[in-house]
Structure 1
């Protein structure tokens, strides 16, 4: 599952909180900031875990103000088996 999260989602602990929630749900993949202010994530796991992570992403941590979350399939170039949920550098 690919997520693009828009709103006040940088500088508020969004990525770290998403990593913790993904680990709690047993989801693997990555999250990173985008230079345009969005946060992007790729998540792999069971359908139920991905649905739960998507629901969490729409709320985010307390300091975030999520305006929109786009959900779609993951980009083919990033699909692989991840060992954990990782924080990637900004693009």
Structure 2
């Protein structure tokens, strides 16, 4: 998995939220790519909620109160294979 793919997953995750301002998700003083990398790593680590992992696939639920649509969202994403 490329860094660009991880960044896209992170951006899609942030964009699914009511608060989709990346600057408010991460600390100041780092660039956009570093922020997206941090979001991706936090997503995989379960910082944003319970992540169910099946092989190289992860799933997390975005609560209806946090989602941009106002409905719960099941967010599926690929997890980097660290052994590849």
Please identify which structure carries the higher helix content: 2
Please tell me whether Structure 1 or Structure 2 has the larger radius of gyration of its CA atoms: 2
